[in-house]
Amino acid sequence: MKTIIQFVLCILVLGLAACNNSSTTAQKQATTPEVKTAEKSTKPEKSTVMPAAKTNVAPQPKPNKKGYNIGDVVADFTLKNIDGNMVSLADYKDEKGVILIFTCNHCPYAVMYEDRINDLHNTFAAKGYPVLAINPNDPEVQPQDDMPNMKKRAAEKGFKFAYIFDDKQEIFPKFGATRTPEVYLLQNEGGAMKVTYSGAIDDNHKDAKAVNVKYVENAIEAVTNGSNPDPNFTKAIGCTIKVKKG
Amino acid sequence: MIKALLSLLMLLLIGCSASTSATQESATMSKVQPETEATTESTEIQSYLKFDDFEHHLHQEDDKIYVINFWATWCKPCVKELPYFEQIQAQYKNKNVEVILVSLDDIKKLNNKVIPFVKEKNLQSTVILLDDADYNSWIDKVSPQWSGAIPVTLFYNKNKREFYEQEFDYQELEHIVKTFL
The confidence score (pLDDT) of residue B42 equals: 58
Question: What is the residue range of B119's domain?
Answer: 2-180
Tell me the per-residue pLDDT of B22-49, one tens digit each, with 9 for 90 and over. 333 333 344 444 434 444 445 689 999 9
Is A244 within 8 Å of chain B by CB?
no
Task: State which H helix or E strand residue B139 sits in.
Answer: helix B139-142
* ipTM of the prediction greater than 0.85, yes or no: no
Binary contact (B50, A31; C-beta < 8 A): yes
Average pLDDT, rounded, for chain B: 84
**pLDDT number for residue A244:** 80
Chain A residues within an 8 Å CB radius of B167: 240
The superfamily CATH assigns to domain A78-240 is Glutaredoxin (3.40.30.10)
Contacts of B9 in chain A (CB under 8 A): 11, 15, 38, 42
Separation of first and last alpha carbons in chain A = 68
Cα–Cα distances in angstroms (integers) from residue A154 to residues A70, A201, A205, B61, B112, in the given order: 29, 19, 20, 50, 30
For residue B4, what pLDDT is reported?
Answer: 54
Model confidence over B44-98: pLDDT tens digits? Answer: 899 999 999 999 999 999 999 999 999 999 999 999 999 999 999 999 999 999 9
| A-proximal residues of B, 131-170, CB under 8 Å | 133-137, 139-141, 144-151, 165, 167
Is B61 near chain A, with CB under 8 Å? yes
Check A203 against B165: CB less than 8 A apart: no
**Model confidence pLDDT, tens digit, residues A45-99:** 333 333 333 334 444 555 567 899 999 999 999 999 999 999 999 999 999 999 9
CA dist., res. B85 & res. A184, Å (int):
35
User: What is the predicted pLDDT for the residue at B27?
Assistant: 33
Query: Angle CA(A145)–CA(A150)–CA(A152) in degrees, nearest 5?
Result: 125
Average pLDDT over residues B146-165: 96
pLDDT, tens only, B11-21: 444 443 333 33
Q: Which residues of chain A are modeled with pLDDT < 70?
A: 1-64, 245-246
Q: CB–CB of A226/A237 below 8 Å?
A: no
Instruction: Report the DSSP beta bridge partners of residue A45.
Output: none
Distance CA A107, CA B32 (A): 29
Domain CATH code at residue B43 = 3.40.30.10
Q: Are B163 and B152 in contact (CB under 8 A)?
A: yes
The predicted pLDDT at position A65 comes to 77
Q: How many domains does chain B have?
A: 1
Task: Give the C-alpha separation, A47 to B129, whole Å.
Answer: 29
Cα A141–A147–A152 angle (5° rounding)? 115
